[in-house]
Chain A
Amino acid sequence: MHIADGMVSAPVCLAGYGLTGLMTWLSLKQIHRTSEPTQGVPKAALLTSAFFVASLIHIPVPPASVHLVLNGLMGVVLGDYAFPAVLIGLFFQAVMFGHGGLSTLGINAVIMGLPALIAAQIFRRGRWLLRRTPRWGLGCAAFGAGAIALALSVVLFSSIVIMNLPANLDATVERAAILTLGVAHIPLIFLEGIFTALLALFLDRVKPELLKEQT
């Protein structure tokens, strides 16, 4: 679910880089407000590596297999570091495997990073709303964060790709294509939500400080 090089025009690439620059600047500004900004760098970097590697785990969905995005959980665990982490992860995916591209790095970072930040808010608020049943609350909040983050990414990706194809598509065809792409991802959205919930419950049991509110 990455936009490849050559799929969108230069103004879209530039707009993507502009938005990514702005969001990275805002994230770094938040990080620099902490008493020791460099302290979180190794943790964020190692967790970025771990998320990158974890997203390579193939989930067998017979007869094929899929891999997860985990951008919702990145938002939850990394807090202010989430957007830079998504950007770095996408950069390595582009240079190592050719997923996405260098010209579309900015727009892909918006597609994956913006939902990660929204997911962090959903998780925080969901957990607070369901605080009377902590385990259920955690599971539901994590499911919502994971599923909604992927759903938002799918919507952004489909809309940007279809609306920027160089050939003039008929409006009905355009709508049908966006809808088809969206519907095709519904099982994956549920899978991502369930996996994120299971992962959050595991982390809560073994290393709860990973899920505590980031500053």
Chain B
Amino acid sequence: MGLLSQADIYVRRSSPLHRWEPRYKLMGFFALMLAFANVRDWRLILPMLATITALYRLAHLPLSILWQRLRYPGLILLGLVVALPFVAGETILWQGGGLTLRQEGCLALLLISARFISIMTLGLLLLATTPFVTLMRSLRSLGLPSLFVDMTLLTYRYLFDLGETLHTMQTALRLRGFGQQQRLRLGPLAALAGSLLIRSYEQSEQVYRAMRLRGYGSAQRFSTGTERRSPWHRVGFIAILLTALGLLSANFWLSEL
């Protein structure tokens, strides 16, 4: 089901980004994500793309996974902003056939696309270099409430199961002739979704009992990772933080010009 299962293939590699302490990686990437989101001047597009390219090379990941990741959401984004070069701005670059191409709109399109590519790639780097459970443990040790972490991990555990159940139920519906005609029949689809909810509700009662028997709710479940770490983890974090600060300052300086 999507990227998370694909990313699992790559999390066991041994690149510098894979070995980086997850908490530093999380905090550093989040700061960088915000710095990327804050870029408002087209002159910072190149430094932003250079930063993300350097990080991608450090992760030793194939380009195919990046293409798979960007393809579909990229199309949706393009659908939302494709009109910008024709409706936003005052400086006319070209006119013809009833259309007017404007400079500000073109730059805005370029800026949004570059920010999108950079932030999406950063998200991919985080997920493809850190096992999901480790990521959740790191978030827990950074202060995310345990109830929320438990809910996320359980949701993740049962997403695939319920995805399979839905697939089986849809196959059964098709075998009974549903969907042969292109007619809108909401009743059977509502019953399908309802059955899925009821099955998961009933399963949750058994899951809770099993969890209680295994001691759920009685003790601290995650270690916060107090073992001695190499100073390079901190150096990496400081480097990322400085890059983020550099981008933020450059953006501020360029907007003041």
Point out residues on A near B: beta carbons under 8 Å: 4-11, 13-14, 24, 28, 31-32, 36-39, 41-54, 56-57, 59-62, 70, 77, 81, 84-85, 88-89, 91-92, 94-99, 101-103, 161, 165-170, 173, 191, 194-195, 198-199, 202-203, 206-207, 210
Contact = CB atoms under 8 A, between A and B. Distances in A.
B205 to A, nearest CB: 8
Query: 6 tightest CB-CB pairs across the interface, nearest first?
Result: A6-B115, A96-B2, A167-B88, A6-B116, A45-B154, A10-B38
B118 interface: yes
A4 B116 contact: yes
A53 B159 contact: yes
A142 to B, nearest CB: 11
Contacts of B204: 42-43, 45-47
Contact of B88 (A45, A77, A165, A207): A165
A162 to B, nearest CB: 10
A46 B154 contact: yes
Interface stretch (B13-21, B92-100, B143-151, B233-241): B143-151
20 contacts: A6-B36, A7-B80, A9-B37, A13-B33, A28-B148, A44-B151, A45-B151, A45-B204, A46-B203, A54-B166, A54-B197, A88-B151, A98-B3, A99-B76, A101-B73, A165-B108, A166-B40, A166-B112, A168-B88, A168-B104
B182 interface: yes
B133 interface: no
Contacts of B84: 165, 167
B201 interface: yes
Contacts of A199: 190, 193-194, 197
Contact of A95 (B112, B114, B127, B148): B127
A44 B113 CA distance: 36
Given A37-B147, A39-B208, A43-B201, 4 more contacts: A5-B119, A13-B37, A45-B150, A60-B182
B194 A195 contact: no
A58 to B, nearest CB: 9
